[in-house]
Amino acid sequence: MTQNFSLQHIIQEPKIKSDKSPVLIMLHGYGSDENDLFSFAGELPEDLFIISAKAPYSMQPYGNAWYAIHFDNTDGKFSDDIQAITSRETIRDFIDEVIKNYPVDAENINLLGFSQGSILSYAVALSYPEKIRNVVALSGYINQGILKEGYESNDFSGLDFYCSHGSVDQVIPVDWARKTKPFLDNLGIKNSYSEFPVGHGVAPQNFYELKEWLKARI
């Protein structure tokens, strides 16, 4: 069925079946693939239809990215925002394809992103809030350069965010993540923000907290 889709992906059908299941779309981090976050799938609520997508840009020798990161750029700009915006639109299209091809509830679309996938989750939800209900944003930050122009006037009343970060993250500075809550608060968006004493990863207590948060909202 992958030929009907903009992104390659793997799925886990819900153990508790219904005609229209809540769906969780997973977006992995830089240099990883669709199998990474999917390892969480067995631990998540049993009524979720889980889809783990593979980022569109292949890396050498392996792995994938939602956009290129230029580590040697002299102006201090690391992200290829043009590619990131393209990926934002691809994910938007992919959500529509998921609704069309799988028995999921179009009113209950949830995103779970890690690192680069988290940055894209913010971008999709803030640019197209009518498509998304809940976002679990792990170890990421809001890149305002990849939000759709005029996003500030969107209706965010249906959105809710769970944001978390490692306090000793060596990849994405925790200071970047700490700007998330005031940013979302300023837009009047429901959100919670947690920090855990880890690096660029998900601590067990972080996973437990996000699972309970998600369970209460789907």
Kindly list the domain boundaries of the chain, sorted by start residue.
2-215
* Rounded CA separation 213/218 (Å): 9
Rounded to an integer, what distance in angstroms lies between the CA atom of residue 145 and that of residue 143?
A: 5
pLDDT in the model for residue 38: 95
**% of the chain residues with pLDDT over 90:** 90
Query: Alpha helix (H) ranges present in 132-203?
Result: 174-178, 180-186
Closest CA to 26 of 99, 94, 89: 94
Beta-strand relationship, 57-58 and 64-65: antiparallel
Phi, psi of 100 (to 5 degrees): -75, -35
- What is the pLDDT, as a whole number, of residue 4? 80
Check whether 204 has a pLDDT greater than 70.
yes
Cβ of 209: how many Cβ atoms within 10 Å?
17
Q: Which tens digit of pLDDT belongs to each residue from 142-187?
A: 999 999 999 999 999 999 999 999 999 999 999 999 999 999 999 9
CATH class of 2-215: alpha beta
What is the crossing angle of helices 116-127 and 81-101, to 10°? 70
- pTM comes to 0.95
Lowest mean pLDDT among 5-19, 74-88, 171-185: 74-88
